[in-house]
Amino acid sequence: MNHILVTGGAGYIGSHTVLELLKLGENVVVIDDLSNSSKESLNRVETLSGKAVTFFEGSILDQDLLVNIFSQFSFSSVIHFAGHKAVGESVNKPLSYYHNNVQGTVSLVEVMEKFNVNNLVFSSSATVYGEGAKPPYIETQTLGCPTSPYGQTKLMVERILADVVRSNSDFKVANLRYFNPIGADESGQIGEDPNGIPNNLMPFVAQVAVGKRAELSIFGNDYATEDGTCERDYIHVTDLAQGHVAALNWLVNQAHGLCEAFNLGTGTPYSVLKIVKSFEQYTKVKVPFKFVPRRDGDLDAFWANADKAADKLNWQAHKTMQDMMEDTWRWQSNNPNGYNA
Ligand code: WQD
């Protein structure tokens, strides 16, 4: 029986992807060190799908554990989410990011090669386009220089995987470049549960709405955009999860080794102020905010050209801004303390 290995499968995007896979009847094995995630997400995924997940707690840096797992299951493919993802933290702890994200991937791919598992979907990021890239970002443009060590790790891993494909004509890679994932499964049972003070916009908005934080600080209102606040391409996490399924289906049907990148976004930019106003409109909950100075490293506006994913993967985002706001709120209001209720 074939299985799919999902590294980091207990995290925000990982758990939503595991849910979509189980709903399709796939057999899923998760490895996650729970450093920024909770096993409870997978308990809920099992309840929602009515299907069990095999779970291993541990790091992909632990090759003995990986070899042990690969010896027990026959994997058709791997979806690789496991990694640190806080941009600001990566500036203060670069070595931890390079070790975990880059060395972790090397460790994983070495074991994949050893067991002849040749399909890999990698969790990359729009940050690989770097500062100075002109939106909408398209996969054919030259990659830039990401501003943070976090971004550098994503770019380095993409390059390492391209080299692996050049050396191994059976190895197939899809690098999925995410834009800004938000929202939650429509059940309100799983969602984003950041440790401590949220770095990202949407969990911060949701925590203000639920009364955990007094007000949102909007970083800068003097950007070169319509209302002066930054614009991003926000994508519903369920659309994103389905993008992984589409990429996997495409990958296993390719005859030869390849390394291809796909943007996963909606193609439509929204400003920070528009997000706040949409949240208020669709949830009827007020989000007090103030303007504060710009945050270091923020770009004024970027969004995806998502045509390649539509053409090749037959995937596009379907959820609306209303879905993104209502689903975020259902998750946050049902679970004010995340999984630690
Ligand atoms: C969005 C907008 C902020 C918080 C990062 C990574 C990216 C990806 C997603 C991660 C910006 C503004 C935010 C707040 C605010 N990776 N903001 N007040 O920076 O576009 O992308 O997260 O896992 O690689 O770079 O996302 O959600 O942090 O910010 O005004 O309290 O919201 O300035 O304009 P970003 P974000």
Residue whose C-alpha is closest to residue 197's, from 206, 185, 188, 189: 206
Residue 290 counted as domain residue: no
Say which CATH number the domain at 141 has. Answer: 3.40.50.720
Within a domain: 136: yes
Grade residue 1 by pLDDT with cuts at 50, 70 and 90: confident
Dist. CA 101–CA 201, nearest whole Å? 23
Name the residue range of residue 61's domain. Answer: 2-181+235-265+305-318
Give the pLDDT band (50/70/90) at residue 291: very high
Check pLDDT > 90 for residue 26: yes
pLDDT per residue over 181-203, tens digit each?
Answer: 999 999 999 999 999 999 999 99
Instruction: Report pLDDT digits (tens) over 50-64.
Output: 999 999 999 999 999
Per-residue pLDDT tens over the stretch 144-179: 999 899 999 999 999 999 999 999 999 999 999 999
Q: How far is the CA of 272 from the centre of ligand 1 (A)?
A: 9
Give the residues surrounding ligand 1 with Cβ less than 6 Å away. 85, 87, 125, 127, 180, 199-201, 204, 216-219, 230, 232, 272, 295, 298
- Residue 275 inside a domain? The answer is no
Number of domains comprising the chain: 1
132: confidence class by pLDDT, cuts 50, 70, 90: confident
Is residue 338 situated within a structural domain? no
Q: Which residues contact 163 (CB under 8 A, 6 or more apart)?
A: none
- Report which of 79, 80, 78, 98 is spatially closest to residue 89, judged by C-alpha positions: 98
Three-state secondary structure call for residue 122: strand
Question: Does some domain include residue 123?
Answer: yes
Mean pLDDT score, 208-217: 97
CA distance 113 to 125: 24
Asked whether residue 200 is domain-assigned, the answer is no
Give the confidence band of 269 by pLDDT, cuts at 50, 70, 90. Answer: very high
pTM value? 0.98
Q: Is 339 inside a domain boundary? A: no
Residue 240's φ and ψ, nearest 5 degrees, are: -60, -45
Q: How many Å lie between the centroid of ligand 1 and the Cα of residue 136?
A: 17
| Cα–Cα distances in angstroms (integers) from residue 182 to residues 235, 297, 324, 326, 334, in the given order | 6, 21, 7, 11, 17
Main-chain phi, psi angles of 116, to 5 degrees: 60, 40
Residue 135 pLDDT > 90, yes or no? yes
227 assigned to some structural domain: no
